[in-house]
């Protein structure tokens, strides 16, 4: 285990087992011959996206959108879109994929923009993690791999100031490693 990690919350094996189940459900839900556009929110969803996609044997396209709402440990509460345009998904079914649903501000801002501007025929969301918070999140996800306690976690795509995304598991970051 990495020295900066206090505890492993989800092992690599546990993540992969759960992705098998989640991918089976998504495949069954979309299995009608029509293509699916998966839109990944970067950078946090990269490992999750790669592992999930390879378990979904449907005709699908992959698009991405770079957004951020965090700096270090604290949510800035505003969502920044790094590119002006949304991916081209007019008339298509869209599955948004993100690493974590925390306050829900990110997913909400992305869902609002897609609804207003993208012209998708159907819009659903899939997250790897959902934090169990006191205050309900401002957006809902249709597919959730794991619910986790309200701790700051890193690994498997999740970062602290850009670091730790390459850990193969998800762990709680030690307090003293805060930026």
Whether 161 sits among the annotated catalytic residues: the reply is no
Rounded to the nearest whole angstrom, what is the least distance from the CB of residue 48 to ligand IMP in the complex? Answer: 11
Tokens of 93: 């079914």
Number of residues in contact with ligand IMP under rule CB under 6 A: 18
Nearer Cβ to ligand IMP (120/128):
128
> How many CB atoms neighbour CB 44 within 10 A?
25
Q: Does 38 bind ligand IMP (CB under 6 A)?
A: no
**Residues between 141 and 160 with contacts to ligand IMP, criterion CB under 6 A:** 152-154, 158-159
Q: Does 65 bind ligand IMP (CB under 6 A)?
A: no
Nearer Cβ to Mg ion (118/160):
160
Catalytic residue list? 102
By CB under 6 A, name the binding residues for ligand IMP.
44, 69-70, 75, 98-106, 152-154, 158-159
Binding site for Mg ion (CB under 5 A): 44
């Amino acid at each position: 285990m990495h020295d900066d990690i206090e505890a492993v919350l989800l092992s690599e094996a546990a993540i992969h087992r759960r992705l098998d189940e989640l991918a089976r459900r998504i495949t069954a839900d979309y299995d009608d011959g029509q293509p699916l556009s998966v839109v990944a929110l970067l950078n946090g969803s990269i490992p999750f996206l790669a592992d999930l996609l390879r378990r979904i044997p449907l005709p699908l396209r992959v698009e991405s959108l770079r957004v951020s709402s965090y700096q270090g440990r604290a949510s800035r509460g505003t969502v920044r879109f790094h590119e002006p345009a949304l991916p081209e998904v007019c008339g298509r079914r869209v599955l948004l994929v993100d690493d974590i649903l925390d306050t829900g501000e990110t997913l909400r801002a992305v869902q609002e923009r897609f609804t207003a501007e993208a012209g998708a025929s159907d819009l659903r969301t899939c997250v790897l993690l959902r934090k169990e918070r006191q205050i309900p999140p401002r957006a809902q996800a249709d597919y959730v791999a794991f619910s986790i306690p309200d701790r700051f976690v890193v690994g498997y795509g999740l970062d602290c100031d850009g670091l730790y995304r390459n850990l193969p598991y998800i762990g709680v970051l030690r307090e003293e490693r805060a930026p």
